[in-house]
Structure formats: structure tokens, C-alpha cells
Structure 1
Amino acid sequence: MKADAEASTKWLVPAGYAIRLRRVEDDPLLLVVENRAAELFRNHGYPDLADDPFDNMEDFRAMIGANRVWVAIAPEGLPVGYAVAGPLDDLVHLRELSVDPAHGRRGVGAALVRTVLAAAKHQAAGGVSLTTFRDVPFNRPFYKKLGFEELPSPTRHSRSAPHLKMSCRPASTRANGC
């Protein structure tokens, strides 16, 4: 069954890259990826993400927790991105997505998200949800392009909150991922 889910995502991966499940030996390089990716937020109102990086493996592994982690492997064989996802109600919740900026804008992040979408479909989950920063200019367009839609705000003040909740459900079937 795992092989079927992985095989169904091979067409989603940029040429030369591969996506596979995390191995413990990936963790030191994933920690580097996380800290490099956090730098992207420095100039968009979240310098604390870059200024307070994960500096030990214990904290990093606690962030990953018992969730499923997919790793993007670059052509040279090293991890350059990852997605962390786990159950939340009837959904799969995308808890973290990080790609080394040196490998950005090549489709690696999109391939990781599509892998999570494929896994959710394979598990017959109700869809995929995520929370991201509302005012970071590259977040909302990236997820919208993949078929995610903003969830209605529970209060009128939520629209000014820094976080944006989005979901991608099978009912919104599109060629872009959901």
C-alpha cells in the first residue's frame, strides 16, 4: 500500500529530484533546511523565525513529533526539503513545509504538497488543511495555485490576524492538486 501511494506521486516531482519518507539519518540536514528556509521570513515581518533557529536535534524532532514526514532529495542525493503532516479531525493537516532556498522555485515545495495531497486521498481523508502567515507575499498565492482555499474566519477580527487557515478538499477537485 505504501508503495502504491509513493508510485502515484512520482510524476509530481521535478526532474532529478525524488521524494521519499523521512529517515532518522536525514534529520541533521533537515534541521539545516529548516533554518535556511526560516531566513525567507526575515524581511516579511517574522525576523524571530530566522533569529531563533532550531539549534538542537531534540527540539527539531519534537517539532516533527509522531507525524509523517516526506523528504525531497536533490539530484546530488541530499535532503533539500520536507513536509510534515498528521491527522486533524477528518483531515490531514500540513504542519510544516520547508525547502532550502537554494532549491526554491523549482517545484520542490509543490511536489511535497502534492505528495501530502496524494497521501490524504490514499487514506480517504476529508482533505488537507494548513495554517500559514497571512501577510507573507509568497504563501497564499503558492497554496492557492495548488488548490487550497481560505477557510471562513470565525470572527470578523480574524481577517486581521497574522495567520491564515486554508484547506483543500476533494469536492474542490482541480487539475492543480486537490
Structure 2
Amino acid sequence: MNGRKAFRRMAPEGYRIRMMEPGEAERLRAIDAAAGRLLVEAGHVARADPPPLPDFVRFLLTHEVFVAQEKRGAPVGYAAAADLAALVGDPDAGGCYWLAALAVDPAHGRRGVGSALLQAVVRRAEWFFHRAVGLSTARALPIGEGFYAARRFVGVAEADLTPALLKRREMEWPSGAAPGSRAVMVRWL
């Protein structure tokens, strides 16, 4: 199944979900920057500057990237995920598909685009027999922990975090975010 058909009928009306195509890094970086401003407005971080383009491209290349696109239009959101074991270099962390990024252009927010991207990530994890999808997100924010909890993700208690989960959470901790402001969540498959 190719990247244009794999996620057919998953997106809300007027959108579609597909895998990333060459030449989209700048647009996805702009989406990431726009979505990051929501975290600033919510008080999770003081600043959300996008990474330099070469760093962002390296990030994209180490993940599978799912793109939400207006039908016959430009990308409006993306999700990036990869096997946790590969991301942290720990073979004992296998079986968890890690959602490293999910961003939707705020102009297209609250239309189901983020939910559709998340559904595509979960479907991909199921296809390849992962036991869970994991992520770290802003604690106690509707656009963070609240969004994922409403989609069957559960928080992992601090005492239950494995070394791989701790490492990944620390890698994703935004500069300037307060201690204790990140939650690790898992959806069992």
C-alpha cells in the first residue's frame, strides 16, 4: 500500500493523511513553529523557536513522518514517530512506537486533523505489531495531556518510567519548561 492510500478515509472532510514527500521540510518546520506558539501562549514555555532547518531535516529523517494535507493543497499538520529502541539506542525498549512530534497549523486546529494524524500513527504501530504508542507532552494542558487522555493514552507514573522512557522525555524537554511539566503517556495496543 503506498503512502497516498494507506490512510484513506482517516482524515476529516477536506483533508487527507499521507506519508511525507521530498521537499516538505520547510513547510513542516513552519507548522511546528506555529504550533509551538500555542505552548508559549499556554505558559508551558517562554519561547518556542523552531530548530535550524538542517537540524529539523535530521529529525525528520530519523522518523516516519505522517502529513495532513488539505485536499489538493499544502500540508497543514504532521506527526513524526519511530521505534523507541532505535531512538534511545536501547534494544530493551522495543515494542513501543514513540510519537516524537504532532503539530497542526493553528489555522486548521479543532477540526480533527490532530486526531487523524494520531490515528494514523496508532494504525502504523498496529500494522508492525508494536505493543504500545508512547509520547511525552505538556502536563495539565488541554493541547497536551488532555488531548491524549481523551484518545485513550494513560499517564505513566514517575516511579514506573523505564530508563528508555526517562531518557526520551529528557531529550524532548523544551528549553525553559518547568520541572515536572512533562508527562509520559502510553496507549496500549
Q: Give TM-score scaled by structure 2 length.
A: 0.79
Compute the displacement of 1:7 (Å): 4.7
Contact 1:9 1:114 in 2 (8 A): no
Moved more, 68-77 or 6-15: 6-15
Segments of 4+ in structure 1 off by > 4 A?
Answer: 5-8
Compute the displacement of 1:147 (Å): 0.9
1:20 to 2:18 alignment = yes
> Which residue of structure 2 lines up, in the alignment, with residue 48 of structure 1?
47
1:114 to 2:119 alignment = yes
1:165 to 2:184 alignment = yes
Compute the displacement of 1:136 (Å): 2.6
Contact 1:8 1:118 in 2 (8 A): no
More helix per residue: 1 or 2? 1
Residues 60-80 of structure 1: CA deviation (Å, up to 9, x unaligned): 112223210011001351001
Provide the rounded CA distance (Å) in 2 between the counterparts of 1:137 and 1:7: 31
* Secondary structure of 1:47 counterpart: coil
Provide the rounded CA distance (Å) in 2 between the counterparts of 1:13 and 1:168: 20
> Which residue of structure 2 lines up, in the alignment, with residue 68 of structure 1?
64
* Secondary structure of 1:129 counterpart: strand
> Which residue of structure 2 lines up, in the alignment, with residue 176 of structure 1?
none
Compute the displacement of 1:16 (Å): 1.3
Aligned length: 162
* Secondary structure of 1:48 counterpart: coil
Compute the displacement of 1:161 (Å): 0.9
Specify the code of the residue in structure 1 equivalent to 2:73.
G
> Which residue of structure 2 lines up, in the alignment, with residue 102 of structure 1?
107
Structure 1: gaps spanning 5 or more residues: 171-178
Structure 2: gaps spanning 5 or more residues: 85-93, 161-165, 167-178
Find the partner of 2:81 among 81, 85, 88: 85
Cα distance change on mapping 1:138 and 1:70 into 2, 3 Å: same
Provide the rounded CA distance (Å) in 2 between the counterparts of 1:77 and 1:106: 16
Contact 2:9 2:16 in 1 (8 A): no
Cα distance change on mapping 1:6 and 1:122 into 2, 3 Å: farther
Compute the displacement of 1:152 (Å): 2.1
Residues 122-157 of structure 1: CA deviation (Å, up to 9, x unaligned): 0011110000011333212211111111112217xx
Residues 12-59 of structure 1: CA deviation (Å, up to 9, x unaligned): 21011011111121111111111111110112221221xx223x3202
Cα-Cα RMSD: 2.0
1:143 to 2:169 alignment = no
Specify the code of the residue in structure 2 equivalent to 1:101.
P
